Amino acid sequence: MAKIITVTSGKGGVGKTTTTAAIGAALARTGDKVVVVDFDVGLRNLDLIMGAERRVVYDFVNVIQGDARLPQALIKDKRLDSLFLLPASQTRDKDALTEEGVDRVIDMLSQHFDWVICDSPAGIERGATLAMRHAEIAIVVTNPEVSSVRDSDRIVGILDSKTLKAERGETVDKRLLLTRYDHARAARGDMLKTEDVLDILSLPLLGIVPESPDVLRASNMGVPVSIHDPDSAPARAYRDAALRLKGENIAMEIPRQRGGLFSKLLRRAA
Amino acid sequence: MTLWKRLFPSTSAPQARERLQILLSHERQVLGGGDLLARLREDILAVVAKHVPCEQDNVKVRLERGTPMSILEIEVEVRGDVGLAASRAA
């Protein structure tokens, strides 16, 4: 049976889809069978971040409505044999996802994969609550910025009340992933520090992903950032986070950009 | 002043931290603990308001989770020293 992870945040634009793709690819690179599922019906983007946008034939809604079988809708990653994508529908609206439909699909997926990673839409509406419904682990993606922290706190409350685990009287294992972190600005006192956010939200820390141009570069290319440039700081941060999810004890650090001025110049020229 | 500011720039993160702590402690009271606290709060308000004048903001329901026991704290502020005798007469 698979471990089911939901990547969530409440606020939009903090890095949920980037995180889903990056953690999915990092886990698949360790040999595990991984499926990433896009719950953002009407505004799908995981396909684009994974570089699979031209290979979408059937989607999540087609499977729920019986117009396609699950294997027909799953897209195999071009780079990693054990990584699959279940895209959301772009043309339907959010009500096309039903509780029973989602239950059925997640159940089938969890029989065939080691990890099912659900990419939640922003907000706290139906799509978001359906995405977190089956979660055993929730990755709460947060930027060190007031509105993101506030929305994360709200999402934590919803994770504690509206998931299957909550209904059974259990709790979802919630982990904080701090993204777009700028160490220099935090050190200057112009950005919330990791400890500030941890204090306020009181969640265990899964990782710190530094602000980096590599994230945009990877998304431009349609490659999960964790495998695009494996030496880049965000790639290392996401790989460490993935290993922590697998239970490995990896020391927490904020990866910095490696290399000196010369390699930076080379990188820029490339 | 400009030189002073340049030498000792004031930082904004502590303000962000303080504002969030105040805001979230309030929001957790209102929304926290899932629907349970919100429902409790509404029900208590409805019952109290039947007998004495009481406003929504004056009912505070807090749940302190812990093991082996949790504490449910309910605080209702009633205006003035009023009410109790007067409303009984009414």
What is the least distance, in Å, from the CA of A152 to any CA of chain B?
A: 11
Among A20-29, B21-30, B32-41, where is mean pLDDT lowest? B32-41
- Is pLDDT of B84 > 60? no
- Is pLDDT of B34 > 80? no
Cα separation of A200 and A52, whole Å?
Answer: 38
Residues of chain B numbered 4-43 and touching chain A (CB < 8 Å): 9, 11-14, 16-17, 19-21, 23-24, 27-28, 31-36
* Per-residue pLDDT at A258: 65
What is the pLDDT confidence band of residue A95, given thresholds at 50, 70 and 90? confident
pTM of the model: 0.81
pLDDT digit string (tens) for B41-72?
Answer: 778 888 888 888 777 777 887 777 767 787 88
The stretch A120-140 carries a mean pLDDT of: 96
What is the pLDDT confidence band of residue A175, given thresholds at 50, 70 and 90? very high
Interchain CB distance below 8 Å, A196 and B32: no
What is the least distance, in Å, from the CA of A92 to any CA of chain B?
A: 30
What ipTM does this complex have?
0.83
Nearest CB partner across the interface for B32, out of A157, A162, A186: A157
Local structure of residue A138 (DSSP, 8 states): E
Tokens for A182, please give them.
Answer: 């700028």
Helix A233-245 to helix A16-29 angle (10° resolution) is: 70
Q: Which residues contact B29 (CB under 8 A, 6 or more apart)?
A: B37, B60, B61, B62
Chain B residues within 8 A of A189 when measuring between CB atoms:
11-14
Local structure of residue B52 (DSSP, 8 states): S
Nearest CB partner across the interface for B34, out of A153, A157, A190: A157
- Is pLDDT of A19 > 90? yes
pLDDT digit string (tens) for A202-248?
Answer: 999 999 999 999 999 999 999 999 999 999 999 999 999 999 999 99
Chain A residues within 8 A of B35 when measuring between CB atoms:
161
- Is pLDDT of B78 > 60? yes
The percentage of chain B sitting over the pLDDT mark of 70, rounded to a whole number, equals 77
Interchain CB distance below 8 Å, A196 and B17: yes
* Per-residue pLDDT at A196: 96
The percentage of chain A sitting over the pLDDT mark of 70, rounded to a whole number, equals 95
What is the least distance, in Å, from the CA of A204 to any CA of chain B?
A: 18
What is the pLDDT confidence band of residue A262, given thresholds at 50, 70 and 90? low
**DSSP letter for each residue of A172-225:** -EEEEEEEEE-HHHHHHTSS--HHHHHHHH---EEEEEEP-HHHHHHHHHT--H
- Is pLDDT of A108 > 90? yes
What is the pLDDT confidence band of residue B25, given thresholds at 50, 70 and 90? confident
* Per-residue pLDDT at B4: 76
Q: Which amino acid is at B18?
A: E
Whose CA is closest to A89, among A71, A110, A118, A64? A64
Provide the mean pLDDT of chain A.
94
What is the pLDDT confidence band of residue B89, given thresholds at 50, 70 and 90? very low
Whose CA is closest to A34, among A172, A203, A227? A227
Nearest CB partner across the interface for B24, out of A160, A191, A200: A200
Whose CA is closest to A178, among A214, A212, A144? A144
Identify the residue with better confidence: B5 or A75.
A75
Interchain CB distance below 8 Å, B11 and A188: yes
The stretch A62-77 carries a mean pLDDT of: 96
* Per-residue pLDDT at B58: 78
What is the least distance, in Å, from the CA of A165 to any CA of chain B?
A: 13
* Per-residue pLDDT at B85: 53
Strands (E), B1-90: 59-64, 71-76
Residue in the structure block whose two tokens are 């105040």: B22
Q: What are phi and psi of A200, to 5 degrees?
A: -70, -45
Chain A residues within 8 A of B23 when measuring between CB atoms:
150
* Per-residue pLDDT at B90: 44
Side-chain half-sphere CA neighbours of A186 within 13 A: 20
What is the least distance, in Å, from the CA of A198 to any CA of chain B?
A: 11
pLDDT digit string (tens) for A194-212?
Answer: 999 999 999 999 999 999 9
Handedness of CA A201, A202, A204, A208 (dihedral sign): positive
* Per-residue pLDDT at B31: 66
Chain A residues within 8 A of B14 when measuring between CB atoms:
189
pLDDT digit string (tens) for A31-53?
Answer: 999 999 999 999 999 999 999 99
Provide the mean pLDDT of chain B.
76
Instruction: Kindly state the helix (H) or strand (E) to which residue A29 belongs, with its residue range.
Output: helix A16-29
Local structure of residue B2 (DSSP, 8 states): H
Helix B13-31 to helix A194-201 angle (10° resolution) is: 10
Strands (E), B3-90: 59-64, 71-76
